[in-house]
Amino acid sequence: MVITMFRKILFLILLCSITGFSQSKDPNEILNNVIKAFEEIEDYVVDVNIKVDVAFLKVPEANAKIYFKQPDKVHMESEGFALMPKQGMNFSPTGFLKTDYTAFYNKEIELNGTDVSIIKIIPLDESSDVILSTFWVDQSKNRIMKVESSRKPSGTFTIDLIYPEDKPNLLLPASLVFTFAIEEMHFPTGITGDSNSENNNENEKEDKDKMGKVYINYSNYQINQGLSDDLFENEKE
């Protein structure tokens, strides 16, 4: 009797372990689940703080407000100049998946304490500026934890995302770090420093000076407010 009961308990434990940790290895299913989850966010408004860390740029810390509406409408308001990557203005999974692509499941790893699945996608359209993108996906919450994308002519950049601990199911990040190779990026005219100065002598450059980072912190999310299309009418690419 005791042995039989023990076997039943052991079977239930094993069954829960199998179902609890089962993760899909179908890359299209994983990405589609992420997109479907994000599509439940019809619009949002959020305050952002932007810090740029590039050796030869003198860009002051900036604050702005970002408005987003599905599928890809974005409006930003800032009192001063705000240098911000497009991926930071609207971190939408659909922004990377607009064209037909082939997806591959790579492997599962632990990233900053979270089990993630690594998915690689290659666009099928030869005219696409994207060469290869890699996603680190938390399947348990259907959200992207990291992105690495190689594009022409801007090179490779990475996006690391951190989500708010007090809102474990929120699909929008609390902060984002955009890392890029400086020599591959094109900056607006007039904001760069003196590239011929001694501090920028090519023989004295350290590897860290070849990389740039943009730190973006998000706060005060207002989700599904029913934003009007009029707000986005005058936006330009």
Residue 132 in any domain: the answer is yes
Mean of pLDDT over the chain:
79
Under 8 Å between Cβ of 132 and 121: yes
Q: Residue 95: is its pLDDT beyond 90?
A: no
Query: Per residue in 27-39, pLDDT tens?
Result: 999 999 999 999 9
Query: Per residue in 50-85, pLDDT tens?
Result: 999 988 778 889 899 999 999 889 898 987 666 666
168 vs 209, which has greater pLDDT?
168
Residue 148 in any domain: the answer is yes
Residue 56 in any domain: the answer is yes
Residue 20 in any domain: the answer is no
Question: What confidence category does residue 186 fall into, taking pLDDT thresholds of 50, 70 and 90?
Answer: low
Residue 6 in any domain: the answer is no
The conformation of residue 217, written as its DSSP 8-state character, comes to E
CA–CA gap between residue 151 and residue 60 (Å, rounded): 28
Residue 8 in any domain: the answer is no
Kindly report the CATH number assigned to the domain that includes residue 182.
2.50.20.10
Q: What pTM was estimated for this model as a whole?
A: 0.78
Domain around 84: 39-225
Residues 6+ apart with CB under 8 A from 9: none
Query: Per residue in 189-205, pLDDT tens?
Result: 544 444 444 444 454 45
Number of domains present in the structure of the chain: 1
